[in-house]
């Protein structure tokens, strides 16, 4: 049964502006694994944007938004060996997903020249 659905879209230029302010933004929002991955990509703004949209979409699907002790860097977006993105939840975000009864979380990320978008479906 579907527990929640979330979607988000972000302009790549918005992410580019945030990234240009220094490393602190990266550390507040992204895990070390995500930073390593995104920085290795040819268009890192698109990779960062897609992951940011995925984090926002997950919080919408959980129905919580970004509250309490939740840290955006505890929502880690990784890729399997075929490139498919998936979540590795940690900390309070993981606790919230478990408390809501999340059994399976599906993630899709897309990029265009100007935007990145993500869709999340949570099943219980």
**Residues labelled catalytic:** 60, 111
Contacts of residue 12, Cβ cutoff 8 Å, sequence gap at least 6: 45, 46, 49, 111, 113, 114, 115, 116
Nearest to 109 by CA among 89, 91, 86, 90: 86
Contacts of residue 15, Cβ cutoff 8 Å, sequence gap at least 6: 45, 48, 49, 52, 116
Rounded CA separation 50/102 (Å) = 22
Rounded CA separation 33/19 (Å) = 16
């Amino acid at each position: 049964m579907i527990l929640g659905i979330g979607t988000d879209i972000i302009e790549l230029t918005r992410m580019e502006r945030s990234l240009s302010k220094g490393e602190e933004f990266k550390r507040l929002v992204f895990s070390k694994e995500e930073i390593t991955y995104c920085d290795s990509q040819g268009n890192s703004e698109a990779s960062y944007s897609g992951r940011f949209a995925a984090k926002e979409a997950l919080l919408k699907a959980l129905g919580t938004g970004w509250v309490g002790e939740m840290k955006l860097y505890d929502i880690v977006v990784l890729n399997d060996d075929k490139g498919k993105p998936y979540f590795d939840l940690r900390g309070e975000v993981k606790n919230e997903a478990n408390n809501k009864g999340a059994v399976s979380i599906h993630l899709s990320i897309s990029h265009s020249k100007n935007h990145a978008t993500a869709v999340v479906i949570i099943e219980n």
